[in-house]
Amino acid sequence: MSHTRLHFPHPISDGAILELGSDQARYVGRVLRSKPGDQLSVFNGDDGEWQTELVRIRKSDATLRVLHRLNPATESPLALHLVQGISRGDRMDFVMQKATELGVKRLTPVLADHGMVRLTSERAARRQAHWQSIANSACEQCGRVSPPVVDQPLRLNDWFGEQRDYDASRLILRPQAGTPLSAVAAPAGALCLLVGPEGGFSPREYDDAAAAGFSPVDLGPRVLRTETAAVTALALAQSLWGDLQS
């Protein structure tokens, strides 16, 4: 497989000619210093991954010819859905990137009672697009073919009202819950994991989570930062039931 991978958000098929936009053309030409005849792979989340050849490169565009399909085995058999309380600064960017690298299939950012972030509908849409872009870029780096779906941010109680993970095992991280994540039985299917923001969840939100079928678990005796907790829980889940098993 080529070490250079690009997310191409359009249909890909055998023998097709693909036109890159200005940002990717600049990356391929100026950063990678690629020349016609060089090969790189592209993926879009729907049509798999394909080996391509660079046909033409200019300052504002580039052309690729699709050569053949690749079959990387980089998607986890564990269907992980992370519902993450929105935190400030670059913490959410970090979670989106690392969750993608750890094989999460879906990412749902939620606004919690103790969260310190407030989003208008316009800003929420911009954040969603930004986080989806981070997930797509993380796929380019880590070898995944199917970027996770990043949902538009919404309030946690609204998500409880419309969530559809009825067949998934549902866990919520809660400090000193008394049940370690490692002691939970292997999920029969998907796993939905709920992680709070910097301030954690409120008592009301923990009650609502229990009513929605979420079981509380912890990650040991120390209280972890929200971004540390999310990454630790995902890595542990993959090592217990996913593709990081020894």
Q: Domain residue spans in the chain?
A: 5-70, 80-241
How sure is the predictor about 228, in pLDDT bands with cuts at 50, 70 and 90? very high
> How high is the pLDDT of residue 48?
86
pTM of the model: 0.86
Mean pLDDT, rounded, of the chain: 92
pLDDT (tens digit, 9 = 90+) per residue, 89-132? 899 999 999 999 999 999 999 999 987 778 888 889 999 999 99
Taking only the tens place, the pLDDT of each residue in 212-224 is: 999 999 999 999 9
Average pLDDT over residues 166-189: 92
Domains 5-70 and 80-241 belong to one CATH topology = no
| CATH architecture observed for domain 80-241 | 3-Layer(aba) Sandwich (3.40)
166 — pLDDT class (breaks 50, 70, 90): low
Sequence-separated (6 or more) residues with CB below 8 Å from residue 78: 103, 187, 191, 237, 238, 241, 242, 243
> What secondary structure does DSSP assign to 63-107, as a single string?
EEEEEEEE----S-SS-EEEEEE--STTHHHHHHHHHHHTT-SEE
CATH code for the domain defined by 5-70: 2.40.240.20
What pLDDT was estimated at residue 106?
A: 96
Mean pLDDT of 63-69: 94
- Only one residue has tokens 């946690």, namely 156
- What percent of the chain shows pLDDT beyond 70? 98
- Highest mean pLDDT (candidates 3-7, 37-41, 229-233): 229-233
pLDDT of residue 1: 40
Closest alpha carbon to 86 in 201, 212, 235: 201
120-135 pLDDT tens trace: 888 899 999 999 999 9
Task: Give the burial string for 189-211 (b: 16+ CB within 10 Å, else e).
Answer: ebbbbbbbbbebbeeebbebbee
Q: pLDDT tens, 183-194? A: 999 999 999 999
